[in-house]
Amino acid sequence: MALPPDRLERFARHIVLPEIGGAGQALLAQATVVLIGLGGIGSPALQYLAGAGVGTLVLVDDDAVDVSNLQRQTIYRASEPGRSKTELAELWVRAFDPVLNVRRVSQRVTRESAGEVIAGADLVLDGCDNFATRLAVSDACVAARIPLLSAAVGRFQGQVGAFAGHLPDQPCYRCYVGDAFDADDCDTCAEDGMLGAMAGWAGTFAALQAVRVLLAPVGGLGDPQWGKLHLLDGLAPGMRTLAIAKDPGCKACGTA
Ligand SMILES: [Zn+2]
């Protein structure tokens, strides 16, 4: 349970915070987070989750780096287009902190594979780029009773929400978006564009909320904010928060 001296030193600025302390840092070291999507949200989220000492990171993406990714996907470099994102992300983590455990899943998550991909996680952070995957991941999280942080970004807008649809009074992601998008890849950023720093804001905010959820068992940063959707506006700029209600008729978490 207690961290060795070199880890206490590495995480000194966390441990001095009463909200984290040695107990919280040890909890982060034991945590497993599944990161769906290693793009504009997943890259900065990975950097701050690894920086926070999250002990096991499961890296999920079926894509290769494209030169147009470099504007916002902060873990990739000019020499790397064409290479596997999960391979490069694993190399990044190993160079950054060799103590952390990494598992790679270099496939697209489907309704069939989602349960296996997220098994054993304390938290799933979904920053992928399509609704079909988001809904498959959300449904699998409800079934496996695993909390989900869902993050999305486009143009100058971002959204980050924490969902625990397996709990009786809490909504899941499907309660929020409904059933219309199961088969659609309708929200890729290629057509609309995106300011790179917006992806950074959404990704790092998702990493903050991930730490909040992971530390909830020891009090940590307080309420995990289930069902709260934070809307990030880069043009105003500002942030609003919506409360999502549980849909009793929800296919995934409803009781009706
Ligand atoms: Zn639901």
**pLDDT per position as a tens digit, 68-104:** 999 999 999 999 999 999 999 999 999 999 999 999 9
Entry pTM: 0.96
pLDDT given for residue 7 in this prediction: 96
Q: How far apart are CA 23 and CA 145, in angstroms?
A: 24
The SS3 call for residue 57 is strand
Place of tokens 């993050």: 151
Q: Which residues contact 256 (CB under 8 A, 6 or more apart)?
A: 248, 249
pLDDT given for residue 1 in this prediction: 67
Q: How far apart are CA 93 and CA 95, in angstroms?
A: 5
Q: How far apart are CA 184 and CA 29, in angstroms?
A: 37
CA of 62 to the centre of ligand 1 (A): 27
Q: What are the structure tokens assigned to 21, written together?
A: 């302390």
- For the chain, the average pLDDT equals 95
Q: How far apart are CA 7 and CA 25, in angstroms?
A: 9
CA of 253 to the centre of ligand 1 (A): 4
CA of 54 to the centre of ligand 1 (A): 28
Out of 141, 189, 250, 253, the active site residue is 189
Q: Is 91 exposed, middle or buried (0-12, 13-18, 19+ CB in 10 A)?
A: middle
CA of 124 to the centre of ligand 1 (A): 16
Beta bridge partners of 242: 229
Active site residue 189: yes
CA of 153 to the centre of ligand 1 (A): 22
